[in-house]
Amino acid sequence: MSASVDSSAALIPAVAQGDMAAFEAAYDRYSGTLYALLLRILGNAEDAQEVLQEAFVKVWTTARMFDAARGSEVAWLISIARSKGIDKLRSRKIRSDRENDAGREISIHSAFVDKTTGADVAILSQERIAVRNALAELPEAQRIALELAYFEGLSQSEISERLHEPLGTVKTRMQLGMKKLRERLQAFR
């Protein structure tokens, strides 16, 4: 059996059946997003490539655990890659080095989640544009708190220290931000 490479077709159930073509299609479809995520988390290509390999090995070996009723396959793959990326980040203690660059990274990321215009449109899918616009609607303080947790694996108290904000404030911002993301999610399902 060979999976369709139609961008809307689910691939992971076929991968779970040992369909190599579906696995290749999944790689082609998602590796760019996962690699971008890992670059964002790890900050260097070598680590990102190593973790990307590990992530796809895990996809191949655990595909049967994917449950479409619980979420989309892109979310499932992103969760695997993010988890492995954060593990790598922590294991290599990259965090301390990255902290020095934290302000720069936030500003970089803040710049690219701004509403997309001009030439960017040509290289972005409609969904990505919609996602970026949804993210841009988040208040900056909420988005920054979420990004520090998601991309840098920081705890509530670490974020509180980093932003010089009370722990309760940080927690509330993250919860409000997540509620808004959940509301926006309906448009991408």
Partner 1 sequence: MIAHDEAQEIAALDAVGAASAEEERDLGEHLAACAECRRVRDEYAEAVTLLARGLTPVPPPAELRELVVSGEAADNVVDARRRFGSSKWWLATAATIFLALWGWRELTMRVEREKYATQEAEIRRLAEDNLRLSQNNEKLSAEMASLASAGTRTISLSGQQAAPSASARVFLEPERRRAIVFFYNLPANAKDKSYQLWIITAKPQSAGVFDVTGSGNATITIENLPVATEIKALAVTLEPRGGVAQPTNSNFFVMGSSSL
Contacts of 16 by beta carbon, 8 Å cutoff, 6+ apart: 63, 64, 66
Q: Which of 43, 49, 102, 141 binds partner 1 (CB under 8 A)?
A: 49
Using CB under 8 A, which of the segments 4-12, 88-96, 99-107, 132-140 binds partner 1?
Answer: 132-140
From residue 179, alpha-carbon distances to 142, 160, 165, 184 in Å are 11, 20, 20, 9
Helices (H), 113-166: 120-123, 126-136, 140-152, 156-163
Residue 159 binds partner 1, judged by CB under 8 A: yes
112 is a contact residue toward partner 1 (CB under 8 A) = yes
Q: Which of 39, 94, 102, 141 binds partner 1 (CB under 8 A)?
A: 39
Spatial separation of the C-alpha atoms in residues 27 and 13, rounded to whole Å? 14
Q: Residues near 127 by Cβ (< 8 Å), separated by ≥ 6?
A: 188
The answer to whether 42 and 48 have CB atoms below 8 angstroms apart is yes
CB of 140 to partner 1, least distance (A): 14
Phi and psi at residue 175, in whole multiples of 5°? -65, -40
Q: Does 78 bind partner 1 (CB under 8 A)?
A: yes
Site string for partner 1, 85-104 (x = CB under 8 A): -x------------------
Which residues bind to partner 1, rule: CB under 8 A?
Answer: 20, 23-24, 27-28, 31-33, 35-37, 39-40, 48-49, 52-54, 56-57, 60-61, 70-72, 74-75, 78-79, 81-82, 86, 112-113, 120, 123-124, 127-128, 131-132, 134-135, 146-147, 149-151, 153-156, 159, 171, 174-175, 178-179, 181-182, 184-185, 188-189
